[in-house]
Amino acid sequence: MRPSSNRAMHAALSGWLVGMLAVGPAAAQTSLPLRLTPRAVPTAAPSSVTVVAIPLDAASRTEAARLAYWAEQSVARSGRLELVRLSEALDAKGKAAREAKAAEGAEAMKEGQRAYDELDTQKALQQFEAAARAFEASDMSRNFGELSRARVMKAASQVANGENAAAQLEIRAVLAVDPRAQFSPNFFPPDEMAFVEKERKAALAGSSGALTVRTEPVPAQVYVDGHFKGVSPVELKGLTAADHFVTVMAPGYVMEQSRAREGDTALTLPPSESVRSLQSISDRVTRKSEELERDVALRELGTLAGVSQVLALLVRGGTGTAPLQVTGLRLEVSDGHNLAYAVGAVPAGEAMATGSDAFLSSLVGTDATRLAGNKPVTHFASEGGSNRKTMGYVMMATGVALLAGGIYFGMEASSKEDDFRRAPQTSARAKDFRDTGKTYALVADIGLLTGLVSAGLGSYFAFSGGGGGGSSSSKSTPAPAPAPRRSRSTPPPAKTEPQKDPLAMPPPPKGTKPMNDSLPMPPPPPASKATSESKPAPESKPAPAAKATPEPKPAPAAPAPEPVVVPAKAADTRRSREDDAAQREEELRKRREEVERQRRELDERRKKEEAEANAKRQRDEEDKRKREDDSKRKDEEKKRPSLDEDDLRNY
């Protein structure tokens, strides 16, 4: 490189260095700080979504409510969607009241902490007490931790005021309900910290209580001390001897909260104002689980809940150890676009927590792209059949897997039977072979039966019905709900012959189609009418009075428009729906009465057993007291000195 070019490069570098050194003082004089990293672009607010689990049969009601909870957890973990609990969305007044109490408690905590830092411990004690009362009236499934923290700070304020006895009582009460509550040495002296650890160990050592929670009229999610415990009825063990906070909630009903100790607790959930709308939507989805009506009803539910998306889980099965068959759908409320769709099997019971994670993650992880022209994607088995086939293939694969498992366990059971026969019959090893063989045989029978059922249903779904795509956009317009109603009322203009029938029946028969017999000729039509329609036969008598030509030109009577049957069909449809709803309500009432009767019988039986146990206990105590009295009397007789002959001589 030439010297001139070197000098030019050195000068450029020197100027650059001087400019960089001058940036510091110049930036210090400016009001805006120098940003060396690009400014973060604000992201759009996440879409709100609510989760609804609809059981398609009575056996899956409890498991559907359990699956709804794990779906809500999956939505919360995704971080891309804002979860709105359906039970809270349909009870806006109750939610607002609980949130107001939570905000009141948070403000009281802030004021109490400020007063405590300023050494005004009397005011801090009052504020922490107010915060505890407010949190207790809020949603305890969310704010139980805040309640524990408020009570801990209340105890800290009492220690600062010199009220050590009251502080120890508060500490003992907090640890009895929440043995894992945190006490900071910054607020408690060493003596009180030692007392805390002593009471914590005592509370954990005495965790032997049992609590049963039941709800009426529907199964509900149960939270105890802020932790999800399952779907009612729930039996809990290992609880501390204290009054625990029980919270139950179900969509369409007002949240119910109570304090319960050991024993049996029954809570009744009051219905909310939207319970009828939710039941109507659920019934429509159940009846039309694979048709357009399903998405229309779910969009109405999203509008009712005030969210932009609905994650629906249609659950079937769950009897015994068989997995649940679930159809998952996440759609946009605005136009019905299916953002996610999946059909699969989910394990029931306790295994659902981990076994459903992959299925639920597929529903909330990504969004499906729209069709050309920004048209929404929908999935209806009645339009194409690919969804029906997919479900069939899944059920067939599940059935084959269950059959293979049944065959394997059957072979193992046969092997255990051979080992049992070869082993000495009186040995413990033979007993172990026999019990293990019975278990394997039972598992084999269950696997074979459920495998045959699943494979048979899967074959039916997979090979019955035509194919075609399962996606469609022609029926998912922004207002698809009126489409089915228009389709029922539009056919009459296409067939105008019945309106010119000379003799129309005044009361149109239900379920018939008189629109097709427009040629009432006397001799020929009876045979054709006998094959097509049988009820309009009386029209053949007055027909000879009309012209012999089969042409409908005469039209002598004006009341021809009367035989239009479409309104009757609509009325029949509405009447059948009302009858179905009445029948369903009657079945629900009978089921509730049966449950109430069983509960009363259980209560009576339990009371009777308790009375017998008390009587037996009293008898045992009396017998024990008698034995003790007898033993004392004998001991006294033994201790009493006896007079011998030497003593008599002394006298």
Closest CA to 557 of 546, 571, 544: 546
Looking at the domain assignment, is residue 140 inside a domain?
Answer: yes
Q: What is the mean pLDDT of residues 350-355?
A: 88
Instruction: Tokens for 248, please give them.
Output: 């139950």
Q: Provide the 3-class DSSP secondary structure of residue 186.
A: coil
Highest mean pLDDT pick, 2-16, 314-328, 474-488: 314-328
Query: From edge to edge, which strands make up the β-sheet containing 309-317?
Result: 81-83, 47-55, 309-317, 324-332, 338-346
Instruction: Tokens for 461, please give them.
Output: 């779904």
Looking at the domain assignment, is residue 234 inside a domain?
Answer: yes
3-state secondary structure 494-562: HCCHHHHCCCCCCCCCCCCCHHHCCCCCCCCHHHHHHHHCCCCHHHHCCHHHCCCCCCCCCCCCCCCCC
Looking at the domain assignment, is residue 535 inside a domain?
Answer: no
Instruction: Give residue-wise pLDDT tens across range 484-493.
Output: 344 333 444 4
CATH number at residue 364: 3.40.50
pLDDT confidence of residue 506: 45
Looking at the domain assignment, is residue 634 inside a domain?
Answer: no
pLDDT confidence of residue 448: 83
> At residue 433, what is the residue type?
F
Does 301 share its domain with 356? yes
Does 326 share its domain with 363? yes
Percent of the chain's residues with pLDDT above 70: 72
Does 452 share its domain with 494? no
Q: pTM of the predicted model, to two decimals? A: 0.55
Count of C-beta atoms within a 10 Å radius of residue 366: 12
What span, in angstroms and rounded, lies between the C-alpha atoms of 331 and 375? 13
Instruction: Give residue-wise pLDDT tens across range 253-298.
Output: 999 999 998 889 999 999 999 999 999 999 999 998 888 899 999 9
Name the pLDDT band for 233 (thresholds 50, 70, 90). very high
pLDDT confidence of residue 504: 41
Per the structure, the complete domain to which residue 588 belongs is given by 484-501+562-604
Percent of the chain's residues with pLDDT above 90: 36
Residue 638 has pLDDT above 60, yes or no: yes
What span, in angstroms and rounded, lies between the C-alpha atoms of 438 and 210? 33
Instruction: Give residue-wise pLDDT tens across range 155-198.
Output: 999 999 999 899 999 999 999 888 889 999 999 999 999 999 99
Does 214 share its domain with 238? yes
Closest CA to 84 of 327, 302, 313: 302
Instruction: Give residue-wise pLDDT tens across range 57-90.
Output: 888 888 899 999 999 999 999 888 999 999 999 9
Locus of tokens 């650059």: 16
Does 86 share its domain with 101? no
For the chain, how many structural domains are there in total? 5
Q: Find all residues with CB under 8 Å of 326, minimum gap 6, and list them.
A: 67, 313, 314, 315, 316, 343, 344, 345, 346, 359
Does 78 share its domain with 152? no
